[in-house]
Amino acid sequence: MREKITAIIASTLLFINVIFWCSILFLLTPIKFILPEIAVRKVMDPIFSTVAGAWISCNSGWMKLTQNTVWDIELPKNLNPKGWYFVSSNHQSWVDILALQHVLNGKIPFLKFFLKQELIRVPIMGQAWWALDFPFMKRFSKSYLEKHPEMKGKDIETTQEACKKFKHIPTSVMNFFEGTRFTPTKHDKQQSPYKHLLIPKSGGFAFALNAMGDKFQSLLDCTIVYPEGIPNFADFMHGRVPKVVVRIREIPIPAEFCQGDYENDVEFKQQFQGWVSDIWQDKDKQIESLSQKTLMKAEQPQAGHLNY
């Protein structure tokens, strides 16, 4: 009964929060069609980012009010809310998005996620993501490209055009390298060499770096662990996520990776993928280490916890 009440309160607050802040976004959106593009970037984008930041702060508010989640967080101390960051994380659940927004809000510019093109049709949220200039990606299968070779490279152009918008205002671009949520079935199907991760897809990252040049000052490599098991969104809303562990490290981006041709230069592509693979190997070891530490602590008497 208690879990149901928690879910009802959390869902109600979430709904009110979405409607309130989306209404403000939709009232401001027509101005984007009136002003020149540069003016939109320099004048309106900071306003939209402020609204989005307030939206996330309210999300954190109802989360703290309704959840007893313990947040175990470690992140760099010198993060800049006026910088440019590329952010990546392992991906296990829709809860990942709430966790990343909660942890990073106000510390770096508002997170803008790479989204599948189909998500723009999601009622209210799809239009809000569009208003906030989230980069929408349209992926084409190999079979489709064989029938429509003229479409080859269009997804790359989409990525680059989306990222060019971010040159004029501090931005954090978020991409889940795995491209989908981790499940044991997907892991086995891929025959992934990693114990806790799917094989990373580094193409979107490479194209974003190519479009943004030297704007991105670093990569924020985020690792999320759910010690009590990977939750779904319903678990979170019912208050069934007792602990979330988040570790974030800042990794410099080599200058040569901001200029290469990932699509056509085989050597560059191999070097880039090798760099991402090294990051992924370190992440896999970190997840294993965090999981082991959590298991050891669970076997010891607990004096208590402090909420983040």
**What is the residue-averaged pLDDT of the chain?**
86
Q: Determine which of 84-93, 198-207, 232-241 has the lowest per-residue pLDDT on average.
A: 198-207
pLDDT one-digit tens code per residue, 8-37: 999 999 999 999 999 999 998 888 778 777
Locate the domains of the chain by residue range: 70-298
Which of 126, 89, 104, 119 has the alpha carbon at shortest distance from 53?
A: 104
Span 138-157, average pLDDT: 67
Between residues 153 and 263, which one has the greater pLDDT? 263
User: For residues 37, 41, 47 and 48, what is the CA-based torsion angle, rounded to 10 degrees?
Assistant: 80
pLDDT one-digit tens code per residue, 249-287: 999 999 889 888 888 889 999 999 999 999 999 999 999
**Placement of tokens 């949220």 in the chain:** 125
Distance CA 113, CA 87 (A): 9
pLDDT one-digit tens code per residue, 162-185: 777 787 788 899 999 998 899 999
Distance CA 53, CA 212 (A): 23
Does position 300 have pLDDT exceeding 70, yes or no? no
* Confidence band, pLDDT 50/70/90 cuts, at residue 92: very high
Does position 104 have pLDDT exceeding 90, yes or no? yes
Which of 59, 70, 53 has the alpha carbon at shortest distance from 10?
A: 59
Q: Determine which of 11-25, 115-129, 138-152, 267-281 has the lowest per-residue pLDDT on average.
A: 138-152
Distance CA 66, CA 89 (A): 26
Cβ atoms within 10 A of the Cβ of 216, count?
Answer: 24
CB 100 within 8 A of CB 174: yes
For domain 70-298, give the CATH number.
3.40.1130
pLDDT one-digit tens code per residue, 31-65: 877 877 776 777 888 889 999 999 999 999 999 99
Radius of gyration of the chain (CA): 20
